[in-house]
Amino acid sequence: MPSSPLTQEQIAARRALRRQRRARRRRLVVGLGACALVALAAGVVVGRGGDGPASAALTPSAQAADRIPVKRTPAQANPAAPTRSRLGSGKPVTLAFGGDIHFESPIRERLAASPADVLAPMAPVLSRADVAVVNLETAVTDRGSPAGKEFTFRAPTSAFEALAAGGVDVANLANNHGMDYGPVGLRDTLTAGRRAGVPVIGAGWNDDQAYAPYRTTVNGQRIAVIGATQVLDDHLIGAWTAGPAKLGLASAKDEARLLREVREARRTSDTVVVFLHWGLELASCPTAVQRSLARKLTAAGADVVVGSHAHVLLGGGRLGKALVAYGLGNFVFYASREATSQTGVLEVTVTGRRIDGYRWVPARISEGIPYPLTGSAKASALGSWKSLRGCTGLRP
């Protein structure tokens, strides 16, 4: 049976625990900052950019996060604040991105037994980030009628419990399964996310809400994350796209609207992220449409552009001063072949508009659940991921 919704007492207890963790993290950051000053005085130089020997270099604070997997719950940003310098507050923030998640069998059985177990293998990776974002490719509802399409996905409200327990901060609903059970299903999904305390992007009660970014402030840095989908069944585009007084999804097919939202977020944010559902299923190289949209988004002010949909991994790297990752693959998803079982988490460290470093944390899906790789399997997967950059036009 699905687990019961959280009570107000449980929610209050979780918030109190998060406040305690934030206070503990602040004390640790002060100590780490003192160590960093000593290191700088001794002439230690920390490199920026590139992939590094086995993965891309992260900033000192991100390396410290490897040892201290505690998540902060930042305060909301002030959207009316004026635009600051390129580096914002000058303090780094770590972002983490995972691909497609649904809760069909065999994952459904794991969810019913214990929501916290679904993402447990990857929780340390997601939880050490300041902001972790995934693509939730299912309706969270037990109502509605299935859309007229080949595959439709839905899950109980415990799906959001699984995301929260696994360290996910934000879920993108803008994808070709977000309204698999119609407007009723999307209403239930939005309500379930709110009740579980998991913010969603890419969908809303109208177009303003659907395109609105998730906003948060970490280390004094104002972060904005926008979700949109470039993948919609042709006969469902009109019904599924949000409008002025119409429930629906944020569509990247309306490029002008999406670019306008990015420019608006740029004015009031230090770091702008766009999470897209895009690409061609099972194609390991980005399409011309993807590459064109990535250029437009970064020109409009996006600092990080990531996405999924192809069910396989695509390459990532630098496009000018921005970071683009064309395909994060499946994440919590049934996978019937080797290519679709390859997955992982993309970690990116940013200081305002500056990409300090990024790295791929490889994993493998088994019975629908991702497990991090180690040893020679990890090294081989990292090499494979880096090789995917060859057809992207991106730099290391």
Q: 341: domain CATH number?
A: 3.60.21.10
Q: Is the pLDDT of residue 334 over 70?
A: yes
Number of independent structural domains in the chain: 1
CA distances from residue 70 to 27, 142, 346, 383 in whole angstroms, order as listed: 12, 34, 18, 29
Is there a domain that residue 99 lies in? Answer: yes
Is there a domain that residue 83 lies in? Answer: no
Owning domain of residue 257: 93-391
- pLDDT tens column, 59-85: 333 333 332 233 444 434 444 444 478
Other beta carbons less than 10 A from residue 288's beta carbon: 7
pLDDT over 90 for what percent of the chain? 78
The pTM is what? 0.81
Is there a domain that residue 61 lies in? Answer: no
- For the segment 172-176, the average pLDDT, to the nearest whole number, is 98
Is there a domain that residue 35 lies in? Answer: no
pLDDT score recorded for residue 17: 52
Q: Is the pLDDT of residue 103 over 60?
A: yes
Is there a domain that residue 87 lies in? Answer: no
Single-letter amino acid, residue 343: T
Is there a domain that residue 289 lies in? Answer: yes
Residues contacting 355, CB < 8 A, separation 6+: 49, 303, 304, 318, 321, 322, 323, 348, 349
Is there a domain that residue 108 lies in? Answer: yes
- For the segment 341-346, the average pLDDT, to the nearest whole number, is 98
pLDDT band, residue 145 (cuts 50/70/90): very high
- pLDDT tens column, 300-329: 999 999 999 999 999 999 999 999 999 999
- H or E segment at 255? helix 255-267
pLDDT score recorded for residue 33: 43
Is there a domain that residue 242 lies in? Answer: yes
Other beta carbons less than 10 A from residue 105's beta carbon: 11
